[in-house]
Every structure is written in C-alpha cells, then in structure tokens.
Amino acid sequence: MARRLRFNGTNSGNDGCPAVHEDIGTGEIIVQGPQLIDPADVAQLQHLSDGEVAIVVPRDLLVDWGPKDVTRQAKTIDLDAFAKLFTTFRHTAWRLEARGRYASDELTTTYAQFTRNEPVDWDDVDAQWCANRRTQAALGKRIERVRIVDQPPTIGQLYLLDNARRNSAVGETIMNLWRRDAEELNLPAEDFWIFDSRLVARLNFDEADNLVNVELITEPAEVVRYCMARDAAMHHAIPYEKFAVALTTKEQ
C-alpha cells in the first residue's frame, strides 16, 4: 500500500526543492533534495548501506520543517475554554469541517425538522452563539469555514448546507468543497480552527462523533502547515449558495 504523505514545507520559493514530507501513518520523515554523488564525498559517510542514498539539504530546511518534539505533551482544553477563543481572537477565525456526521447536530430541534423535510426557521436559534458571531463581525473580525462534502452527501452534510443560511446571516463566510477535491489537495482529514494564523485548535471526537476536547497547536511550522491547507481550501472552495444550487441541479 502506498504511503500517505503530507507535505510539510520547503524553503525554496521557486521549484519547491528541497522539501520535507511526513508519513502520516508512521511518522517517518521523507527529505527531498539533490543526491550526494561525488565519490570523494560519499566515501566520507559512515554506515551507508546498499540501496541508501545521501541527500544534501540546507540546514534551515530541517530547522524550519523537520520533525519537532514528537514526545511533547499535547495541550488540550475543555469545551468551555474552547468557547472563549471566539471572544479573544483578534482578526480571523477559520475552520475546516471534514466529518460526515456531528452527533451534537442530531440532538437539535432543527435537525429533526430537517430530516422530516420541514422548512427550518433558523431565526433566533442558539441566541448566545448568534450574538457572539454578530459581535465579532461588527468589530471587523472575519469568521470563515470550508465544509467538506461527500458524494453523495451525508444527511448531516446536507443539514449543514441548510444551516449555512444561519451562519451567513450572523456574519460568517461559508464555503464548500467536494471530498475528492480535498483529497487531491492533501487537506488534513480532521476538523480544526485557526485563530489569527498563530493558533490551531484541533477538534478531537470520540467514536460516536461527539466532540470531547480540543488540542492547541502553537509550533510555528505546524501552524504554517495548517495555514497552507486553509489557503488551498479557500482557493478551491465554492460559496455555499452556489454549491447548493449546483447540487440541486445535479440531483435533478
């Protein structure tokens, strides 16, 4: 089976070489760069076995994009502390929603209405949440999401496509992206928020699709990797209104 490689980064602004990739499954690091080929140089290497090659890369590449402390203790926060991030961020909050189902949605009255094919009135639903979003938008802050959609969409994804009307009404920008496109872009298969391009909040779910806690990521190279995923997603994603029209047209 082919490895699933994640592009960590490169210090080259032109041809993208040398570069560092990471094997998501094993955690192994793959370094891409020019091979050391001068026999006099190769002869100085110790323990170079048959089938192995030596790669020459700038020191900065490993400093900037190499593996960090893989033994570090993850910093997790509870959901109350997570909620406070939406009042303390200064400029931007951006989310990737990659799951096919969210258990919390299915406990709502609006979800029951939606699954009964009844019109959903999103006015004043979760008034505190809406008030926060309106307050942040009034301060000039941007809150944006890209939602991944399967083919065919799950019920939960269709519900969120309808729910986007509420998000938009309170100041959020909602975009959609087909999962096949997300996979071609090598977007992370996880849910996360990026706050002010400096803090990543990775959402951890249990097997029943319940959000249980949030892991905070502040390592600069890791944050940049998530920001790169954000930029790729936003470039290819479609505003939810256009996505909904295209989906309806396709179904007809």
Q: Are residue 182 and residue 60 in the same domain, yes or no?
A: no
Based on the domain organization, do 83 and 33 belong to the same domain? Answer: no
User: For residue 70, is it within any domain?
Assistant: no
Residue 12 has a pLDDT of 67
Q: Is 132 part of any domain?
A: yes
pLDDT of residue 89: 96
Write the single-letter amino acid at 182: A
My answer on whether omega of the bond before 18 falls inside 30° of 0, hence cis, is: yes
Residue 163, C-beta contacts closer than 8 angstroms, at least 6 positions apart:
105, 110, 120, 122
* Whole-prediction pTM: 0.77
CA distance 182 to 241: 19
Domain check: are 16 and 98 in the same one? no
What pLDDT does residue 59 have?
81
Indicate whether 56 and 84 sit together in one domain.
no
CA distance 111 to 120: 8
Q: Domain span at residue 22?
A: 5-65
Q: Is 6 exposed, middle or buried (0-12, 13-18, 19+ CB in 10 A)?
A: middle
Tokens standing for residue 124: 């004043």
How high is the pLDDT of residue 221? 82
Number of independent structural domains in the chain: 2
Q: What is the pLDDT of residue 252?
A: 53
The pLDDT value recorded for residue 15 is 60
The answer to whether residue 57 sits within a structural domain is: yes
Average pLDDT for consecutive 10-residue bins of the chain (252 residues)? 81 71 81 87 84 85 70 81 95 98 95 95 85 96 98 96 95 97 94 97 96 92 92 98 87 58
The answer to whether residues 32 and 108 belong to one domain is no
Q: How far apart are CA 210 and CA 105, in angstroms?
A: 10
Query: In this structure, are 88 and 57 located in the same domain?
Result: no
- CATH code of the domain in which 224 resides: 3.30.870.10
Q: Write down the pLDDT at residue 64.
A: 74
Same domain, 142 and 181: yes
CA 177 to the chain's CA centroid:
12
What's the residue count for the chain? Answer: 252
Residues 84 and 166 in one domain: yes
